Chain A
């Protein structure tokens, strides 16, 4: 088995507490690496004919990577892979820190959980030995409280990933939280909740080896040094929240459920304003030299992390210009364990339905921070209107009717992140074809829009290869795993990635081989989706984005035909040859 790996995964059936170490073929590791890639392979292998992401037999997979535990900056990450209860398609979400390090030290490259515990439980993995502890006393606990209680009981060398009340109640976009960070998108926490698991606790002593430790240490030192430079300045100095004013300036800031691309009160909720008026501390994931986390004080309590996606989704998307309300809303989502983008998108959608008179919840109106807070609480606990909100915008649209699916802000059921598709049309393509739905983490196509390579408001087939490149690069980063905020430091990403991987594993992989691996990983995800029912018609955007320009930017219009042309070209270049009805059926 190559250094950097243990060569097996731990398969646990929580119905009866049984556990097996299952060998992982070396060839599979070389092709799929780890993280999202190995997760896609494992998901295909373990899914069988299981029809429902929340069925007992459906697997939930924690995947580490060859770089986890190495001194390479930002490498302490893990992926959580399953079929999404929100989209019914593949879902892979990433989180960081001690859980990745301790989980890999359990002596496996992945942990596959199947089955359903008889009652709410905690899965404890101690150096590869598995047991189920009672979890009833943690029922209803927030993510942070559950983690703290378990750490006190089990000891500080256990690292804990937990769900909040939302995961217990099967809110379809519940997260898995560890150390304040979340495997956030697509409902990983819902799947854990469906297995009657409140948390997974890991500790271990089985360190993997490195093929060339001295050279790896020197390479890591150089990479860390570069990570202090201008390529990561944004993340260190303002964090991703810096995007807000930039996007607003380009008419690309989704506002009021994507009804427009600019927000009058953008300055009030900008990172610059929040930074100027609040105490701020910085934090980072384990083994990270960048430290992109900016934690801001809130009047009545501990501070909260603020990232662009939470800021846009709980602020402008809901028409809210009160920074305190946005910070409190973001903190509430962290406590309940719900994805800020999906809950913000679903609330904004519901607000528009109220505005149109299709939903009788007069308190739920754009611009009111208190309404957003109340709606999050109800969704996270599935109370009242929260039952509807907890289903996500696509299912909510189905229940509300009136053809409201036309403006439900989702692709394949996953709510759209903070990039207005009409103003950023390469990103629009990235959203349409994403394997887990509308996704800015698996497609970096926005980078292309903010460059001279394309006209961001008039996408053509020339943009397709750029979109594919960013998707491939993301697939590799998510499989190695390295943080995407490091991407700017690489002059030759594939070449440097090959060098790092070889120092860990002793392989002789090349940039060209990693390019092929990246494509193979994207292909594996697409194949999984095809197996569970994907058709080309899913690769599209809601009608709203295909009918006319943004109100204050006549140039920002994306026609049905133009989207169809680029999606078809994408399918051709990716080798999915079926002719695509693409934009013909927005609600598909």
Chain B
């Protein structure tokens, strides 16, 4: 079931969306990225699909600043803060 949760955007996702933080309803990480891309179409190419069990190569997702997750089927909880950033942090 979809729940509302806080999402933080960093780097290029933030720059393109023009917001740092927002609330999104989603049950899984994949749904969350779909919802973000629908709301901010300029993010769509960053979120281009990887495999069914793996995010595409250009985006990284982190739960609560602690754990990076790569499986779009990862279930999300209302208490999660999801950080979305471009995959090439550093450099």
Q: Which of A237, A419, A447, A485 contacts B12 (CB 8 A)?
A: A237
Within 8 A of A (CB), among B32-85: 45-46, 48, 57-58, 60, 62, 65-70, 83, 85
Task: Count residues of chain B with CB under 8 A from any CB of chain A.
Answer: 28
Among listed A49-57, A71-79, A244-252, A568-576, interface-contacting one: A244-252
Most buried by B among A237, A440, A451, A452: A452
Q: Which of B60, B67, B90 contacts A243 (CB 8 A)?
A: B90
Among listed A104-112, A228-236, A356-364, A387-395, interface-contacting one: A228-236
Asked, given contacts A250-B65, A450-B68, whether A488 binds B11 with beta carbons under 8 Å apart, the answer is: no
Contact with B along A233-263 (1 / 0, CB 8 A): 1110110101101110111000000000000
A444 interface contact, C-beta 8 A: yes
* A-B interface pairs (CB < 8 A), number: 84
Cα of A238 to Cα of B8 in the assembled complex, Å: 18
Closest Cβ of chain B to A449, distance in Å, is 8
Q: Which residues of B contact A246 (CB under 8 A)?
A: 10-11, 85, 89
Q: Which of A243, A249, A251, A488 contacts B83 (CB 8 A)?
A: A249
Q: Which residues of B contact A250 (CB under 8 A)?
A: 62, 65
Q: Which of A238, A419, A446, A487 contacts B15 (CB 8 A)?
A: A238
Let me know if B11 and A238 touch, CB within 8 A: yes
Q: Which of A229, A272, A419, A452 contacts B67 (CB 8 A)?
A: A452
Within 8 A of B (CB), among A373-430: 419
A484 interface contact, C-beta 8 A: yes
Let me know if B58 and A238 touch, CB within 8 A: no
Let me know if A452 and B89 touch, CB within 8 A: no
Let me know if A238 and B89 touch, CB within 8 A: no
Q: Which of A247, A452, A485, A487 contacts B70 (CB 8 A)?
A: A452
Q: Which of B48, B85, B88 contacts A447 (CB 8 A)?
A: B88
Let me know if A488 and B15 touch, CB within 8 A: no
Let me know if B15 and A447 touch, CB within 8 A: no
Closest Cβ of chain A to B28, distance in Å, is 16
Let me know if B65 and A249 touch, CB within 8 A: yes
Q: Which of B10, B45, B60, B90 contacts A440 (CB 8 A)?
A: B90
Let me know if B12 and A450 touch, CB within 8 A: no
Let me know if A488 and B70 touch, CB within 8 A: no
Closest Cβ of chain B to A182, distance in Å, is 17
Asked, given contacts A240-B91, A444-B90, whether A233 binds B58 with beta carbons under 8 Å apart, the answer is: yes
Q: Which residues of A contact B8 (CB under 8 A)?
A: 249
Interface pairs (11), CB distance under 8 Å = A230-B48, A234-B11, A242-B86, A245-B11, A249-B8, A440-B91, A444-B90, A446-B89, A452-B70, A487-B88, A555-B66
Q: Mark A residues whose CB is within 8 Å of B.
A: 229-231, 233-235, 237-238, 240, 242-243, 245-247, 249-251, 272, 308, 419, 440, 444, 446-447, 450-452, 455, 484-485, 487-488, 555
5 further A-B pairs in the complex, CB-CB below 8 A; given A231-B88, A251-B65, A272-B14? A233-B58, A242-B11, A243-B90, A245-B11, A488-B57
